[in-house]
């Protein structure tokens, strides 16, 4: 292994060490120490990638790639996991959780760099298995139900994925993405199965069933990992498949577009009548997966940039909303949010701004993400998809608007504890990012453009 | 830099108001000071302005890779609308002094941010920046209605948000399509106006833009959000909605339709005039049947904005001048009426015309103010509304006399609803008992300012027309 290859893989090594260290520390040290070791691992791994900005991609062989999206995916997974680690403490201070959280980050990082079906499968399995444990952590009825649903469906999705890979291999004889192609029936069927397997992890309709349950029952930090970290890694893999593999066309692009369109419409529709904040976020995350899938399906030149941009804007909003949801205790409903502004101004502002961003209204970053989305679709003259996006976002205004005004009206009694300093810091970072991305998006645009540049 | 300051000033003023709120009336004074500073700055910009149409024009890159830049420019029309925004901002604070007692910080912040976003709309010549501010103004306005409104305020606010945000997609899609047709990626209206597009393409693009503008103008059949939003909003919200937000639709149509799509506008002009005439008749007739005073005024807004649409669609000099004057005139009269009805409602807790009356005996100041603005509502000569409507109708006569007659008939309808309002509130037996307190000076002087404005424009319209002339000239599409 050359030095360049080692440098490219070092973030994964650091993460693995951090996961093991956090596990070993469980019987020996206090929770804070365990968390600190996990946090240090995540921060160092992100820093190791950031230090290599501008370095040429290391030749990595077939298994792993070291291109821009992979680096972006690793940094993204580490930073968002770090955010999730901050509010992992609120709610359930279980000592094994930090280690599982780092494992999710490893899975996401592996997935983001996957250039081969083996790494892809490995990444997905590391991700899913750690997530199952995190979902079930509270051992409540709903938690177990969510974990069980995820376990069964994840197993199904993994089998579909494997069978799909096998069928494609049977016809093309290649196991690297670039070698995939061909027009035979086996490849077409394999592609459909591969898409179904990925769509499960990406919570696209009709493979979305686990998402709202997980958001409702799991601790908010686990929901963040499922809804943001794992999703972004899968998005990057799908993007890489779209860019490098020549999968049979009608199945791949139109299949992705169909799944994406269905997710946008159905996710938003199901979110409409949700009175519960985490469940609403669960359905809205299905819709956001749909938007991202539509961007990739468009196949237009700026699609790659648009995906990364969308992910970067989506992350602080989801993180902020879930952090507030965690702070308010188990599954806050709409009436629980009333009068939040009087009791907890920071949380109220963070929640409203996050939802504003998810709704795609300006001054928040979501508006620019929506612009990017519309631009990509209009570039490709995909007017049907534009119509679907317009219909979906219009439905979105209904439920987001209900939630983002709730903190400013009425009054409810509340005896939950005030937020720790660190969580407040996280919320302030989220607010700042949402506003910066919304008001001065040029910086982030340059970053994603540089990331996608060959 | 001054133009950016005009937008930033209320945006920052809103933040300050949000954070200083608490004891005393600090947030109110901060808000008033912000708007007053804006007016000073605006006068400075206009006074030191360069020769020619634009007083000031700047361009800074925003997202270079998308071809989006902060293209701001100010001419007489923009300056007038911004002055209106700041003035109505101050008036809104005055009008809500005793009405708004909860979450006062957020209220004044929303007020400032609504004004900041509308100022952005009046200054932007980059289509995406325009769309940015266009949608940005919806959020604070939504908050104003949803948090401090009456009755089913959330439903009304949601309706307002959905209608306008969805219509905004038309604006966005057409902007992207336009930029895609340009030889290099740009959203600058100045550059896009140079493109030679075929008439059918122009018509399609115009329809995309018009979707947003028509909904904001609330021309039937795009008006369904307006009656509830106006009726259920707090007084300050109604003032801003009628005086400012509706005007952004008229402004967008006035500014961009002739600039970007002259041939397209000429092709659809007859339909635009017809739609306007139908809307004016519809709004007027429905207004006649209302018993809720605020709802009545809300429907007259639909009628008057339809007259503005007729003027812009006609595209001749008289009609455009009339439309521009009518925009200002309607801001004065509708805002003043909303303020008066709000003040009356605070005292009597009713807006039902059947339960009110006899103000001329119990509260003469109220009665005088209502008399003045009801005359403005029916466009009595001497008021600004007369100048606006008369010019529009004269302009339409040059294009098509049938539509002109239709437009004239709306004046008859306006007499009915204006007198009905007047009769229900001012004349008759004093109701309710015991007699109510007359207006305080804080309520009265905004009325005085708007009344003087109405009369000045009505008696000496040249003062306003001279300011607007360059923008009107630029918007001409027909020159009979």
N- to C-terminal Cα distance for chain B?
40
CB contact under 8 A, B146 and A401: yes
Cis peptide before B434 (omega within 30 of 0): yes
SS3 B60: strand
Nearest to A190 by CA among A167, A212, A211, A210: A167
The per-residue pLDDT for range B9-45, each reduced to its tens digit, is 999 999 999 988 877 788 899 999 999 999 999 999 9
At B221, list the tokens. Answer: 């059949």
Closest-CA residue in chain A for B174? A378
Residue A73: predicted pLDDT: 94
Nearest to A136 by CA among A115, A151, A153: A151
User: Is A185's pLDDT higher than 70?
Assistant: yes
User: Is A235's pLDDT higher than 80?
Assistant: yes
User: Is B299's pLDDT higher than 90?
Assistant: yes
Q: How far apart are the C-alpha atoms of A311 and A228, rounded to whole Å?
A: 8
Cβ(A226)–Cβ(A219) below 8 Å = no
Q: How far apart are the C-alpha atoms of B404 and B366, rounded to whole Å?
A: 35
CA angle at residue B216 from A358 to B464, to 5 degrees? 130
Share of chain B above pLDDT 90, in %: 58
A interface with B, Cβ–Cβ < 8 A, is 341-342, 356, 361-363, 367-368, 371, 374-375, 378-379, 386, 390, 393-394, 397-398, 401-402, 405, 408-409, 440-442, 445-446, 449
Residue A142: predicted pLDDT: 81
Q: How far apart are the C-alpha atoms of B53 and B125, rounded to whole Å?
A: 14
Residue B480: predicted pLDDT: 53
Angle between helices B262-288 and B384-399 (to 10 degrees): 130
Q: How far apart are the C-alpha atoms of B143 and A356, rounded to whole Å?
A: 12
Residue B278: predicted pLDDT: 92
Mean pLDDT in residue range A429-444: 92
- The 8-class DSSP code of residue B242 comes to I
Longest dimension (CA), chain A: 65
User: Is A89's pLDDT higher than 70?
Assistant: no
What's the mean pLDDT when you consider all of chain A? 89
Exposed e or buried b per residue across B376-397, where buried means at least 16 C-beta atoms within 10 angstroms of its C-beta? bbbbbeebbbbbbbbbbbbbbb
Nearest to A434 by CA among A380, A359, A377, A341: A359
Q: How far apart are the C-alpha atoms of B471 and B321, rounded to whole Å?
A: 9
CB contact under 8 A, A397 and B103: no
Radius of gyration of chain A (CA): 21
Exposed e or buried b per residue across B167-206, where buried means at least 16 C-beta atoms within 10 angstroms of its C-beta? bbbbbbbbbbebbeeeeeebbbbebbeeeebeeebbbebb
- The 8-class DSSP code of residue B233 comes to S
Closest-CA residue in chain A for B165? A394
Closest-CA residue in chain B for A364? B136
Torsion angle, CA of B9/B10/B13/B14, rounded to 10 degrees? -150
- Work out whether the CA dihedral A118, A124, A127, A132 comes out positive or negative: negative
At B374, list the tokens. Answer: 């009801």
At B432, list the tokens. Answer: 């309710």
Chain A residues with CB under 8 Å of B157 CB are 401, 405
Cβ(B334)–Cβ(B304) below 8 Å = yes
User: Is A91's pLDDT higher than 60?
Assistant: no
CB contact under 8 A, B147 and A405: yes
Under 8 Å CB-to-CB from A35, ≥6 apart: which residues? A22, A85, A88, A89, A98
DSSP letters spanning A358-393: HHT-TTSHHHHHHHHHHHHHHHTT-HHHHHHHHHHH
At A454, list the tokens. Answer: 């060959």
Nearest to B288 by CA among B214, B377, B390: B377
> Nearest-CA distance from B470 to chain A in Å?
32
Q: Which residue from B64, B158, B173 is facing A401, i.e. has the nearest CB? A: B158
Q: How far apart are the C-alpha atoms of B250 and B313, rounded to whole Å?
A: 11
Nearest to A373 by CA among A447, A289, A266, A315: A289
Under 8 Å CB-to-CB from A42, ≥6 apart: which residues? A15, A18, A78, A79, A81, A82, A85, A102, A105
Mean pLDDT in residue range B387-398: 92
- Work out whether the CA dihedral B304, B306, B309, B314 comes out positive or negative: negative
> Nearest-CA distance from A263 to chain B in Å?
19
Residue B433: predicted pLDDT: 63
Chain A residues with CB under 8 Å of B146 CB are 401, 405, 408-409
The per-residue pLDDT for range B46-100, each reduced to its tens digit, is 988 877 788 988 999 888 888 889 999 999 999 999 999 999 999 999 988 888 8
The per-residue pLDDT for range A25-45, each reduced to its tens digit, is 888 888 888 889 999 999 999
Report residue A90's pLDDT band, with 50, 70 and 90 as the boundaries.
low
Cβ(A191)–Cβ(A182) below 8 Å = no
Closest-CA residue in chain A for B129? A362
Nearest to A75 by CA among A233, A202, A188: A233
At A440, list the tokens. Answer: 């001065």
Q: How far apart are the C-alpha atoms of B327 and B20, rounded to whole Å?
A: 35
Is residue B474 exposed (0-12), middle (13-18) or buried (19+ Cβ within 10 Å)?
middle
Please state whether beta strands B56-63 and B68-74 pair in parallel, antiparallel, or not at all (unpaired).
antiparallel
Q: How far apart are the C-alpha atoms of A399 and A406, rounded to whole Å?
A: 11
User: Is B326's pLDDT higher than 70?
Assistant: yes
ipTM, two decimals, is 0.88
Q: How far apart are the C-alpha atoms of A279 and A271, rounded to whole Å?
A: 8
Residue A214: predicted pLDDT: 86
Strand partners, B71: B59
Residue B50: predicted pLDDT: 77
Nearest to B392 by CA among B459, B452, B286, B319: B319
> Nearest-CA distance from A446 to chain B in Å?
8
User: Is A137's pLDDT higher than 70?
Assistant: yes
User: A278-282, A343-347, A352-356, B137-141: lowest mean pLDDT where?
Assistant: A343-347
Q: How far is CA A167 from CA A64, A164, B111, in A?
A: 22, 5, 61
At A166, list the tokens. Answer: 């096998």
The per-residue pLDDT for range B53-62, each reduced to its tens digit, is 889 889 998 8
Q: Which residue from B64, B103, B177 is facing A408, i.e. has the nearest CB? A: B103
> Nearest-CA distance from B350 to chain A in Å?
24
> Nearest-CA distance from A349 to chain B in Å?
11
At B216, list the tokens. Answer: 């904001």
Q: How far apart are the C-alpha atoms of B27 and B19, rounded to whole Å?
A: 8
SS3 B92: helix
Chain B residues with CB under 8 Å of A390 CB are 166, 169, 173
Report residue A112's pLDDT band, with 50, 70 and 90 as the boundaries.
very high
The pTM score is 0.92
More confident residue, B99 or A236: A236
Q: Which residue from B63, B139, B173 is facing A442, i.e. has the nearest CB? A: B63
The per-residue pLDDT for range B393-436, each reduced to its tens digit, is 999 998 888 888 888 888 889 999 999 888 888 887 777 666 67
Q: How far apart are the C-alpha atoms of B114 and B11, rounded to whole Å?
A: 9
SS3 B283: helix
Nearest to A213 by CA among A303, A143, A119: A143
At A334, list the tokens. Answer: 């709409």
CB contact under 8 A, A362 and B133: yes
Closest-CA residue in chain B for A376? B176
């Amino acid at each position: 292994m050359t030095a360049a290859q080692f440098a490219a893989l070092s973030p994964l090594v650091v993460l693995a060490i951090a996961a093991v260290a956090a596990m070993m520390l469980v019987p020996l040290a206090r929770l804070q120490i365990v968390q600190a070791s996990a946090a240090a691992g995540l921060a160092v791994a992100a820093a190791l990638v950031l230090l290599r900005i501008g370095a040429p991609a290391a030749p990595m062989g077939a298994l792993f790639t070291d291109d821009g999206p992979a680096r972006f995916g690793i940094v993204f997974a580490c930073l968002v996991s770090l955010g999730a680690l901050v509010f992992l403490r609120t709610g359930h201070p279980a000592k094994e959780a930090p280690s599982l959280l780092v494992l999710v980050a490893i899975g996401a990082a592996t997935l983001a760099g996957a250039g081969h079906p083996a790494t892809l499968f490995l990444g997905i399995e590391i991700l899913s298995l750690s997530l199952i444990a995190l979902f079930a952590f509270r051992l409540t009825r709903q938690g177990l139900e969510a974990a069980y649903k995820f376990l069964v469906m994840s197993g199904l999705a993994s089998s579909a994925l494997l069978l799909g890979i096998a069928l494609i291999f049977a016809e093309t004889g290649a196991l690297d993405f670039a070698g995939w192609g061909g027009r035979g029936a086996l490849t077409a069927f394999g592609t459909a199965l591969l898409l179904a397997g990925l769509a499960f992890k990406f919570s696209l309709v009709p493979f979305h069933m686990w998402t709202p349950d997980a958001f409702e029952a799991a601790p908010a930090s686990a929901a963040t990992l499922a809804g943001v970290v794992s999703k972004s890694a899968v998005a990057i893999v799908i993007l890489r498949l779209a860019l490098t593999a020549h999968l049979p066309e009608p199945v791949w692009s139109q299949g992705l577009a169909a799944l994406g369109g269905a997710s946008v419409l159905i996710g938003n529709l199901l979110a409409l009548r949700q009175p519960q904040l985490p469940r609403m976020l669960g359905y809205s995350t299905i819709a956001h997966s749909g938007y991202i899938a539509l961007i990739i399906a468009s196949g237009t030149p700026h699609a790659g940039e648009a995906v990364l941009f969308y992910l970067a804007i989506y992350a602080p909003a989801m993180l902020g909303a879930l952090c507030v949801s965690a702070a308010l205790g188990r599954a806050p409903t709409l009436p629980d949010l009333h009068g939040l502004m009087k009791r907890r101004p920071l949380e109220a502002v963070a929640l409203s701004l996050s939802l504003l961003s998810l709704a795609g209204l300006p001054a928040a970053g979501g508006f620019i993400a929506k612009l990017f989305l519309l631009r990509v679709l209009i570039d490709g003259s995909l007017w049907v998809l534009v119509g679907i996006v317009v219909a979906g976002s219009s439905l979105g205004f209904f439920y987001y608007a209900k939630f983002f005004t709730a903190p400013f009206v009425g009054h409810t009694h509340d005896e939950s504890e005030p937020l720790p300093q660190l969580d407040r810091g996280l919320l302030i970072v989220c607010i700042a990012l949402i506003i910066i991305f919304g008001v001065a998006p040029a910086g982030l645009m340059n970053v994603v453009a540089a990331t996608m540049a060959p | 830099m001054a133009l950016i300051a005009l937008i930033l000033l209320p945006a920052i003023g809103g933040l300050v108001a949000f954070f200083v709120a608490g004891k005393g009336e600090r947030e109110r004074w901060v808000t008033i000071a912000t708007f007053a500073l804006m007016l000073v700055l605006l006068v400075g910009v206009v006074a030191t302005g360069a020769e020619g149409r634009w007083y000031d024009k700047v361009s800074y890159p925003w997202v270079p890779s998308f071809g989006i830049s902060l293209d701001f420019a100010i001419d007489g029309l923009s300056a007038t609308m911004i002055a209106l925004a700041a003035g109505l901002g101050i008036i809104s604070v005055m009008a809500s002094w005793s009405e708004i007692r909860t979450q006062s910080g957020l209220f004044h912040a929303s007020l400032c941010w609504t004004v900041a976003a509308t100022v952005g709309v009046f200054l932007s010549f980059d289509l995406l920046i325009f769309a940015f501010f266009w949608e940005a103004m919806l959020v604070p306005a939504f908050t104003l209605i949803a948090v401090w409104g009456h009755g089913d305020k959330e439903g009304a606010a949601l309706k307002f948000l959905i209608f306008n945000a969805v219509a905004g997609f038309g604006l966005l899609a057409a902007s992207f399509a336009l930029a895609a047709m340009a030889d290099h990626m740009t959203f600058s209206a100045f550059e896009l106006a140079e493109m030679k597009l075929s008439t059918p393409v122009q018509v399609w693009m115009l329809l995309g833009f018009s979707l947003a503008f028509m909904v904001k103008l609330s021309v039937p059949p795009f008006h369904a959000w307006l009656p509830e939003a106006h009726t259920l909003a707090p007084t300050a919200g109604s003032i801003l909605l009628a005086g400012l937000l509706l005007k952004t639709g008229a402004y967008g149509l006035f500014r961009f339709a002739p600039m970007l799509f002259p041939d397209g506008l000429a092709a659809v002009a007859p339909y635009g005039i017809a739609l306007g005439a139908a809307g004016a008749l519809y709004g007027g007739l429905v207004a006649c049947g209302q018993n809720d005073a605020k709802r009545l005024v809300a429907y007259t807004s639909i009628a008057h904005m339809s007259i503005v649409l007729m003027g812009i669609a006609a595209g001749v000099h008289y009609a455009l001048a009339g439309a521009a004057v009518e925009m200002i005139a309607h801001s004065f009269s509708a805002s003043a009426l909303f303020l008066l009805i709000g003040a009356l409602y605070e005292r009597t807790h009713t807006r039902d015309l059947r339960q009110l009356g006899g103000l001329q005996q119990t509260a003469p100041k109220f009665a005088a103010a209502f008399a003045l603005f009801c005359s403005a509502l029916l466009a009595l000569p001497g008021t600004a509304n007369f100048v606006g409507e008369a010019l529009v109708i004269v302009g339409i006569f040059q294009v098509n006399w049938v539509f002109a007659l239709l437009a004239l008939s709306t004046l008859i309808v306006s007499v009915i609803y204006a007198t009905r309002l007047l009769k229900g509130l001012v004349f008759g037996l004093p109701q309710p008992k015991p007699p109510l307190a007359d207006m305080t000076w804080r309520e009265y002087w905004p009325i005085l300012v708007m009344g003087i404005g109405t009369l000045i424009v009505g008696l000496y319209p040249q003062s306003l027309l001279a300011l607007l002339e360059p923008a009107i000239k630029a918007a001409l599409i027909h020159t009979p």
